[in-house]
Amino acid sequence: MKKPSERVVDIIKLLRKTYPQSRTALEYETPLQILVSTILSAQCTDERVNRITPALFKKYPNAAAFAKADKAELEMDIRPTGFFRNKAKSIMGAARKIVEDFGGEVPDSMEKLITLPGVARKTANIVLSSVFKKAEGIAVDVHVKRLSCRMGLSKQAVPEKVEQDLLKIVPKDAWLDFNYLLVNHGRAVCQARKPRCADCVIAALCPKIGLPRALVPVKIA
């Protein structure tokens, strides 16, 4: 088995061929919309987020509107996404800072984005890569964390530490789409409970780290 830094290049090539249109599944038109959608997607499916955001963004068309929102009303607007009280607090806090410190426009750097309430590196990376096409890191969500462990790319449990491991071995020209490639593969094949290893295009490159013994398949050439 090759070293992680050698395998990851082959993994990226195969996943890009398998998922040529990899991008976030969240639907958005503006930087603010992808920011809000990403906050809402925490512990919620992108599909559910996409169901409520058209009406949400029509009701709150800009950062000033979110900043001035009635918190109880906003909570009800986003209730289907779960954890709606904390999410409403984060959205309103971020919107206020965007209005007060950034002229109503979502900032386009990691340094500034992570100053927004409720915005950590994962959310900032999604915003930067999706709408600004900037690669300042790799977003580590549940799919990226799981697949990175299974493929032996990181042994860390904390997302920030997983990201640091990935940044050392993933070529910078792949930082923009690495998250989306792993998310697509995690949803389609390398699922949490029952990974479909027999259908996996990168099975020969995967040491199966993190898989229960009963689920470790025969290697596919």
CB 192 within 8 A of CB 144: no
CB 161 within 8 A of CB 167: no
Total count of residues recorded for the chain? 221
Chain CA centroid to CA 67, Å: 24
- CB crowding 9-22: b at 16 or more within 10 Å, else e: eebbebbeebbeeb
The catalytic position among 77, 87, 97, 141 is: 141
Instruction: Pick the closest to residue 185 from 200, 172, 167, 170 (CA basis).
Output: 200
User: Is 141 marked active-site?
Assistant: yes
| Angle ∠(119,113,144) on CA atoms, nearest 5 | 55
CB 94 within 8 A of CB 112: no
The catalytic position among 97, 122, 145, 177 is: 122
User: Is 122 marked active-site?
Assistant: yes
**Could you give the residue numbers annotated as active site?**
122, 141
